[in-house]
């Protein structure tokens, strides 16, 4: 799973946006980007098991047709299909179907395409929450951290706020930041999208948590790739 090709200029763009947003607020913004939030091993196993089951079912439903197909494929003439040979064929076909499907699910775009959207969204949310707890939650004196998390393969992003912010800002307030981010992301402008979201989040933070004279920078401004 390759990391996104973020250049030094991309990192600077996001870091500068975070610094500018935090200049007028006591809030702290953390930005994280990842190629994919989950390997979806369980989903791959589920589809692989289904493929193996369907192959075995086809042999049970139409054994004559399946055996004839194998005979033609391997050039067999009047092959004696003993019970042992049929069981061996069933095991071989089942194992092949399972293995091929698992490899397709794990190492091609098919895997993500066959993963239901609600599962993808839930896994992104779970990973975002983990990153938030490690990198932002309760790590500021006023509990004013905000995480902007982008998962590229799933085409999904999350904005999660620490307790002090969540108590004053309704979740739907982040909709403007999401829209500002998603439009450039769809155009392949990853850094520009994150920077746009940072700017919108900064506006909300400046309104509810204006910067004080003794405010210090408690969390890193840089874009984090995981």
- Answer yes or no: do 20 and 45 share one domain: no
- Answer yes or no: do 133 and 219 share one domain: yes
> Which H or E run includes 59?
helix 41-61
d(CA 95, CA 88): 11
| Structural domain boundaries enclosing 29 | 8-38+116-225
pLDDT in tens, 104-123: 999 999 999 999 999 999 99
Least Cα distance to 181 among 205, 162, 156, 203 occurs for 156
For the cut 70, the answer to whether the pLDDT of residue 2 exceeds it is no
3 within domain boundaries: no
Last residue of some domain: 81, 96, 113?
Answer: 113
- Give the CA distances from residue 181 to residues 19, 89, 146, 159, in Å, rounded to whole numbers and listed in that order: 17, 53, 15, 11
Q: What is the tally of structural domains in the chain?
A: 2
Rg, the chain, Cα only = 26
- Answer yes or no: do 67 and 97 share one domain: yes
Q: pLDDT class for 6, splitting at 50, 70, 90? A: confident
- Neighbouring residues of 146: CB distance < 8 A, sequence distance ≥ 6: 27, 28, 29, 30, 136, 159, 160, 161, 162, 165, 201, 205
Query: Rounded to 5, what percent of the chain is helix, strand, coil?
Result: 60, 10, 30
- Answer yes or no: do 23 and 135 share one domain: yes
Last residue of some domain: 63, 87, 113?
Answer: 113
pLDDT in tens, 160-184: 999 899 999 988 999 999 999 998 9
- Answer yes or no: do 98 and 203 share one domain: no
- Answer yes or no: do 96 and 194 share one domain: no
- Answer yes or no: do 135 and 71 share one domain: no
Last residue of some domain: 62, 91, 113?
Answer: 113
Confidence (pLDDT) at 222: 92
Confidence (pLDDT) at 135: 81
2 within domain boundaries: no
151 within domain boundaries: yes
Name the pTM for this structure.
Answer: 0.86
For 188-216, the DSSP string reads T-HHHHHHHHHHHHHHHHHHHSBPPTT--
Residue 58 tokens read as 């086809």
d(CA 156, CA 149): 9
Residue 12 tokens read as 């600077």
- Answer yes or no: do 107 and 72 share one domain: yes
- Answer yes or no: do 24 and 125 share one domain: yes
1 within domain boundaries: no
């Amino acid at each position: 799973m390759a990391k996104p090709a973020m250049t030094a200029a991309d990192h600077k763009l996001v870091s500068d946006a975070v610094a500018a947003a935090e200049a007028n607020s006591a809030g702290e913004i953390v930005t994280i980007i990842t190629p994919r939030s989950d390997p979806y091993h369980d989903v791959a196993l589920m589809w692989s098991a289904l493929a193996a089951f369907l192959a075995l079912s086809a042999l049970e439903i139409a054994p004559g047709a399946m055996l004839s197909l194998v005979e033609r494929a391997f050039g067999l003439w009047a092959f004696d299909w003993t019970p042992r040979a049929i069981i061996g064929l069933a095991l071989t076909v089942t194992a092949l179907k399972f293995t091929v499907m698992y490899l397709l699910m794990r190492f091609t775009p098919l895997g993500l395409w066959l993963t239901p959207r609600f599962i993808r969204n839930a896994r992104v949310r779970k990973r975002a929450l983990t990153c938030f707890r490690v990198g932002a939650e309760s790590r500021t004196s006023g509990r004013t951290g905000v995480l902007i998390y982008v998962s590229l393969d799933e085409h999904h992003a999350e904005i999660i706020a620490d307790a002090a912010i969540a108590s004053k800002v309704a979740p739907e307030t982040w909709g403007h930041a999401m829209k500002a981010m998603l439009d450039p992301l769809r155009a392949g402008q990853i850094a520009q999208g994150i920077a746009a979201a940072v700017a919108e989040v900064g506006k909300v933070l400046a309104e509810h948590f204006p910067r004080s004279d003794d405010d210090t920078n408690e969390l890193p401004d840089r874009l984090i790739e995981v």
